[in-house]
Amino acid sequence: MLLSDKNNQKSEKKLPQHIAIIMDGNGRWAKKRALPRKAGHKAGAKALEGIIEGANEMGIRHLTVYAFSTENWKRSEDEVSAIMDLLRQYLKTYFTRFQKDNVRMHVIGDISRLDQDIQEQIIEIEKLSADKDGMTVHIALNYGGRDELRRGITVLAKRVEEGKLRAEEITEEMISNVLDTAGVPDPELMIRTSGEERISNFLLWQLAYSEFYFSEKLWPDFTKEDLEDAILQYCGRERRFGGRLTESNEVK
């Protein structure tokens, strides 16, 4: 967000309210260590724990992470099942650990294709954390931007079919409101790790005006300090003057 002071003499960006992350590079991290891919995902899930903690400490309001895409089903059965097991374990870990910090947990994506027990766990965790008013962590599971738009468009098309809405009255706001992120401000900053520079079907509608930050680090190596660097770059590195983020959410 660009801010000008009264005299219009300087402008600076405030902390992003919403950061989206494509957590890429788990497989390569494991390969470098001659470990199975699932060890990379496990290290990735641990790294996410640190990033949730860091983002919350820095005062970020929404963090959306791409944990499993609609395309990820094409991976080997063994790898998919390892990621699902990590989900079972870590959804609980994140929820338990960050409850005291007032963190709300929310899942985006079409969860109907996930195993029944995971669906139940998601519903439970979302319900139990619904009253938290700190940061919200949105975990994208069986998520694809095109699929999300397709599901949203179906909702609007039904309203037209039922005569409740005229097609030409559809606004951008109505579209935003039928997406999984309804009510959540669009991300100001999107981070992708591992040196890849693609959107890969992530938040296609919501990233329309976002700043992109690409890190060479593999996701399991991405730390709170890396997150802070990404935010500082977003805010404008020339304003850093060797400083770090302050408690008042300003760049010093």
Which residues in this chain contact ligand FPP in the complex, by CB under 6 A? 23-28, 41, 44-45, 48, 67, 72, 83, 86-87, 90, 139, 194, 219
Sequence-separated contacts (24+) of 198-203 with Cβ below 8 Å: 199/22, 199/145, 200/22, 200/66, 200/69, 200/71, 201/69, 201/70, 201/71, 201/144, 201/145, 201/146, 202/20, 202/22, 202/66, 202/69, 202/140, 202/143, 202/145, 203/20, 203/64, 203/145
- Which residue has 């039904």 as its token pair? 158
The least CB distance from residue 23 to ligand FPP, in Å, is 4
Q: What are the strands, taking DSSP E only, across 167-229?
A: 189-192, 211-214
User: Encoding tokens for residue 214?
Assistant: 């690409």
Question: Is there a catalytic annotation at residue 186?
Answer: no
The least CB distance from residue 152 to ligand FPP, in Å, is 24
CB-based contact 179:205 (threshold 8 Å): yes
Q: Which C-beta is closer to ligand FPP: that of 61 or that of 217?
A: 217
Q: Which C-beta is closer to ligand FPP: that of 19 or that of 45?
A: 45
Q: Which C-beta is closer to ligand FPP: that of 87 or that of 125?
A: 87
Closest-approach residue to ligand FPP (CB): 27
Q: Which of the residues 7, 24, 85, 201 is marked catalytic? A: 24
The least CB distance from residue 203 to ligand FPP, in Å, is 15
Q: Which C-beta is closer to ligand FPP: that of 143 or that of 219?
A: 219
Q: Which of the residues 72, 147, 201, 221 is marked catalytic? A: 72
Q: What sign does the dihedral 156-157-163-167 (CA atoms) show?
A: positive
Question: Is there a catalytic annotation at residue 24?
Answer: yes
Q: Which residues are catalytic?
A: 24, 72
